[in-house]
Amino acid sequence: METLIVNYMAREKRFAYLRNNRVEQIVFERPEHRSLVGNIYFGTVTKVLPGMNAVFIDIGEDKNAYLHRDNLPSYVLSSEKQKNVTSCVHQGEKMLVQVDKDATGTKGPKVTGIIEIQGNNLIYMPKGRYVAVSKKIANESKQTTLRRLGGRLKMEEEGIIFRTSSISSTEEEIHDELQTLRGQYEELLEKIPKKPGLIFQKDTFIEMISTQTSKMKSGEVIVDDLGLKKILEQVNPKVKHTYYNGKENIFSANKVEHEIDKALKRIVWLDHGAYLIFDETEALTIIDVNTGKFSGKTDYQDTVLKTNQLAAQEIIRQLRLRDIGGIVLIDFIDMKREQDKQAILDTITAELAKDEKRTKIIGFTPLGILQLTRKRTKVALSEALQTKCPVCDGTGRVLSAETIAFRLERELFEHRYGEFEAILVETTDEVKAALLGPNEAHKETLTGMLNLKLYFSIQAAAKPYYILKQFGEERDISLKAIDTLP
C-alpha cells in the first residue's frame, strides 16, 4: 500500500511518501531554499585551478559554483583527453552552466557545462556528443535500434539520452521532439543577460511529486490543493486521488508531523530496545549501533546479528528520510563470523534497492566499520530545517525562525473561520518577520485566509518560539498586544 501526502497550500511545500503506513521519504521546499538542481545560469569564470582541474564560476548566487574540467564542453568535444583545464577555459570566460548539486555547508553549487534539456522521450544535450539509452530499457535489440536512430538524428556536437517512454514512440515523434528541444535551447541563448544570473528555473517540487505519483502502482494521493490534485490525476489516473480540506494540517491529520521531529533526533530507537546514534558533519555521517536493552534469546553472536540486521534496515530508511548524502560510516556491533558480515551486506543491498539515489557500498574496514557513499544533490533534512543555536555557540541545533514561523502559520490555519475575532500570539521578532515575509508582503494574504485579526506580543528569547496566548474579541486582545498587526 502506497500513500503520497502533499502539503501544498502554504509557502513551505512538503510531501511525504509512505509505504505500508511507514514514512519512507519527506521532502521540503521553501522559497528561500528552493533547490537549484536543473537550473541553467549564465556565468563568468572567476578562478581557474590547474591543480584541481576545475574552475569557479560566478552565477549570480551567494556562492560561486564549482565546475570540473570533465564537464566543460570544450573538453568533451576535444579529441585530446589529457590536457589540463587551463587549455580548456580561461579566467573571465562566459558560459552557460546547469546545476548538478545544491550548495551544502561552505561549498557552493556544483555545475556542468553540458546542458541537458528534458523532453518526454529525450534528454537533449547541445554539447553532449554521445547517444545513450535509459538503463531501464533492458531489451538489447531496442537499445541498439535507439542508438542508431540517435546517431542519424543528432548533429556531431549534440548528445541524446533516450528515456524509457521512447520505447513506445515513433521515429517521427522522436524527431519532432528533438526539433522542439533544439528550439528551446535557441530560446535560452536569446535570454542571455549582460551579467551572471539565472536564465531558466526548474520547478523541482512539482516534478518530484509528479515523478513519485507516476511510479505508484496502487494506493492513494492526498493533496490539500485542488489545482495540484487535477495535475496529479492526469499523471497517474490508476491511483486514488483525494482532496483534503480539513482544518487540521494535512501532515498532522495523517500522523506524519511527528515523523519530522523524530528524523531530527540524534537517537533512533529500534524494536526490542536497541538504538542508533546519528552524528552528521559536513564531511561525513557516522552511525553507531547499540544493543541497548536487546538481550536476545540465543547466544551472543546471534543477538549481535539480529540487532545489526534490524539496524541495517532502519539505517537505510533513515538515510532516505533524512536525505543524508556523502560518506557514511556505520559502526555495527562487532561481528566475529564472516558469514554474519555477509548477511549484513545482503540486508543493506536489499534495502538500497528501494532507494532512488545512487549508493555505493565500499565494504567493511579492518575495524569492522561499514563504509558507503550516497549521492548528495541537496542539503540534508537537518540542515534544511535547523540552524546553529546562538545559545550554545553551534555545539547543538534548534529549529530555525523560519521553521517555527511555518509551524505557526499551519496552526493558525487550523483556527480559521473560528468563533472569535482576534488572536494574540506571543513570539520573537524573527518568527514574526518570517511569518509575514519581507516587508510584511504576506500580511494581507494571511489575514484574509484566516478571517481574523492577528495581534503580537513580541518577546526577546534565546531561541525562536511561539505561543497562541489568547482567542477572543478584538477589543480585549488588542489591549494585551505589545506589537500589533492592524
The rounded percent of the chain whose pLDDT value lies above 90 is: 54
The answer on pLDDT for 243 being more than 50 is yes
Output the pLDDT for position 107.
86
Query: 281: buried, middle or exposed (CB in 10 Å: 19+, 13-18, 0-12)?
Result: exposed
For the stretch 396-438, pLDDT in tens is 778 899 999 999 999 999 988 888 888 999 999 999 999 999 8
Q: How many helices (H) and strands (E) does the chain have?
A: 14, 27
pTM score, whole prediction: 0.68
Dihedral of the alpha carbons of 122, 124, 128, 134, in degrees to the nearest 10: -20
Distance CA 239, CA 212 (A): 12
Asked if the model's pLDDT at residue 23 lies above 80, the reply is yes
What are the distances in angstroms from CA 109 to CA 33, 39, 202?
13, 11, 15
The string of pLDDT tens digits covering residues 286-312 is 999 988 765 555 677 888 899 999 999
Query: Is the pLDDT reported for residue 120 higher than 90?
Result: no
Cβ-defined contacts of 19-28 (< 8 Å, 24+): 19/354, 22/317, 23/256, 23/259, 23/321, 24/317, 24/320, 24/321, 24/354, 25/320, 25/321, 26/256, 26/259, 26/260, 26/263, 26/321, 26/381, 27/205, 27/208, 27/323, 28/381, 28/384, 28/385
**389 backbone dihedrals φ, ψ, rounded to 5°:** -80, 125
DSSP 226-250: HHHHHHHHHH-TTSEEEE---SS-H
Over residues 84-103, the mean pLDDT reads 92
Ordered alpha helix ranges (H), 242-388: 250-253, 257-263, 300-322, 338-352, 381-385
The H or E element containing residue 296 is none
Q: Could you identify the residue written with the cell 537533449?
A: 124
Which of these, 324, 466, 323, 463, lies nearest to 399 by C-alpha position? 463
- pLDDT at residue 202, as a whole number: 81
Q: Which of 124, 161, 116 is nearest to 143 (CA)?
A: 161
Contact 382, 280 (CB under 8 A): yes
Mean pLDDT of the chain: 89
φ, ψ (nearest 5 deg) of residue 266 = -75, -35
Residue pair 282/327 in contact (Cβ under 8 Å)? The answer is no
